Amino acid sequence: MADVAIKEKQVKLQVATLRAEESGAGIARIPRSAMAELGLTEGDVVQISAKRDTAARVVAPYPEDEGLEVIRLDGLQRANAGAGAGDMVALSRAEMRPATRVTFAPAQENLRLQGSAMALKRSFFGRPLVAGDTVATAGQQRLPAGDMPPQLRQMLNAPAYALAEVRLIVVSANPKGIVYIDENTEVELLAEYQEPQDARRTDVTYDDLGGLGDTINQLREMVELPLRYPELFQRLGVDPPRGVLLHGPPGTGKTRLARAVANESDAQFFLINGPEIMGSAYGESEKRLREIFEQATKSAPSILFIDEIDSIAPKRGQVTGEAEKRIVAQLLTLMDGLEPRTNLVVIAATNRPDAIDEALRRPGRFDREIVIGVPDEKGRREILGIHTRGMPLGDDVDLDELARTTFGFVGADMAALTREAAIEAVRRIMPKIDLEEGTIPPEVLEGVRVTRDDFLGALKR
């Protein structure tokens, strides 16, 4: 069927990020002038195109954006369009058609869903979908009131699917183009992960990190920009950093951050776990290091993340073991051997920056450092927002209060807290669950609310 080529009106806008609490709702905030030019009102659907085409419902800009030519998208939408923050995307008016059939699959490895297609149908009812997109069950999102019409907000606050946000890939959708699920759509859920075809990995984006706004900005400049625009740096004669050292206590999000930068830069991600690599037999550790460096170089643009670098590169003066000395030497050789044009950044994490070999911190090696601290109250609030995304919360839950009373908690503690609270909630309804059956019936799951008491119970554990 040949589409009639009508030159649609297009508007170009620069991509910026959506507030984390609005992430996953399938909305794009665009200037009123752009809405007028495309003949759109709030709640209408636009096609957003960069490397890929995706779609969203348009919503009025944040007050502080008034007059700016920006479009605010969440991390999944940025990946779906193939555009990072700062890139330009083209917007055009779009028609959505009711889907006859939509097939979803989990967007994460190791996530098996025995979900009911019904619940999925309700979660995504009316949402614009394009085959290949990664989408999130928005759950009981509490979108801020703002100036959004109540019906629109209600539609975006889709019912919860599970106790936590679930990311899914739209494996296929019929008919082609932008579709939405209605009463008649057949919805299928495949049990296992499907590699997205041309989209980027979306397991983690900047939206999944709380309290690290400044750190993300620093890393964007240091790592994301050189990875995405190597020509620019070459032309300016600036050597992008080879190595960046992240230091901070365990559980503050260093690994997650490195993954997010890789995903948002559309780069491959390689991980070396310090203690793990040390365990190998004579000569094996160096060989593994060489192999991973080689792979990462071949797959460039890439990010190679070395977790707990202090365990493989302790101060040479202080180590007695020959193995450690050889590995430090190997790592130095590999860092120095990277061609200037190789589009590879090595990010290393440590909790003890003073414990690593000084030679590693010389120019051309790990010569940039970023400190990641324990989050403050505002940071904890952001992290809570992220980990309760898609969680059906009781009306008595006060996330501000929880953020206030969790002094000293790092991100990993906050994640554990929300997980525990959800388990508390499930325990409460346990009597209603037929354990023989092994699964929780959707109607029961949908009735579950994680309450203030569940959080307090989790805090006591």
Contact set with ligand ADP (CB under 6 A): 209-212, 250-256, 349, 383, 386, 411-412, 415
Provide the minimum distance between the beta carbon of 2 and ligand ADP in the complex, in angstroms, as a whole number: 48
Q: Say which DSSP state 381 is in.
A: H
Between CA 296 and CA 360 the distance in angstroms is: 19
177: tokens are 């183009």
- What does residue 424 show for φ and ψ, rounded to 5 degrees? -55, -45
Shortest separation between residue 46's beta carbon and ligand ADP, angstroms = 30
Nearer to ligand ADP, 64 or 354 (CB): 354
Cα separation, 138 vs 150, whole angstroms: 17
Name the residue whose CB lies closest to ligand ADP. 411
Burial class of residue 10 (count of CB atoms within 10 Å of its CB; 0-12, 13-18, 19+): middle
CB of 125 to ligand ADP, least distance (A): 29
Residue 253 or 274: the one with the smaller Cβ distance to ligand ADP is: 253
Amino acid code (one letter) for 307 = D
Q: Which is nearer to ligand ADP, 152 or 416 (CB)?
A: 416
Q: Please, what is the minimum distance in Å from the beta carbon of residue 255 to ligand ADP?
A: 3
Nearest CA to 248 out of 345, 346, 352, 347 is that of 352
Cβ distance to ligand ADP smaller for residue 96 or 245 = 245
Least distance from C-beta 85 to ligand ADP, angstroms?
18
Our CB check for ligand ADP shows the closer of 105 and 164 to be 164
Please say which residue, 210 or 392, places its beta carbon nearer to ligand ADP: 210
The tokens describing 222, both together, are 């240091």
DSSP state, 184? T
d(CA 183, CA 100): 10
Q: Least distance from C-beta 383 to ligand ADP, angstroms?
A: 4
Minimal distance, residue 118 CB to ligand ADP, in Å: 29
Q: Which residues pair with 189 in a beta bridge?
A: 104
Neighbours of 460 (CB within 10 A): 8
Please report how close the Cβ of residue 260 comes to ligand ADP at its closest, in angstroms: 9
Cα-Cα end-to-end distance for the chain:
61
Closest to ligand ADP by CB, 133 vs 308, is: 308
Which residues make beta-bridge pairs with 168?
106, 135
Helices (H) and strands (E) in the chain, counts: 17, 17
Task: Choose between 21 and 53: whose C-beta lies nearer to ligand ADP.
Answer: 21
Min CB(212)–ligand ADP separation in Å: 5
Angle between helices 284-298 and 322-337 (to 10 degrees): 20
Q: Least Å distance between CB 314 and ligand ADP?
A: 19
Q: Which is nearer to ligand ADP, 128 or 248 (CB)?
A: 248
Alpha carbon 260 to its chain centroid, in Å, reads: 6
Q: How far is the CB of 183 from ligand ADP (least distance, A)?
A: 37
Closer to ligand ADP by CB, 253 or 314: give it: 253
Helix (H) or strand (E) holding 264: helix 254-264
Q: Which two tokens stand for residue 141?
A: 């999102």
Calculate the alpha carbon distances from 180 to 33, 55, 78, 80, 243 in Å. 26, 11, 20, 17, 45
Kindly give, in sequence order, each residue whose CB lies less than 8 Å from that of residue 167, ignoring residues fewer than 6 positions away: 76, 106, 107, 108, 134, 135, 136, 202, 203
Minimum separation from the CB atom of position 59 to ligand ADP (A): 25
Nearer to ligand ADP, 345 or 415 (CB): 415
Question: Looking at beta carbons only, is 241 or 248 nearer to ligand ADP?
Answer: 248
Q: Which residues are CB-neighbours of 63 under 8 A, at least 6 positions away?
A: none
CA separation for the pair 194, 211 (Å, rounded)? 31
Q: What is the DSSP string of 308-340?
A: THHHHSB-GGG---HHHHHHHHHHHHHHHHS-T
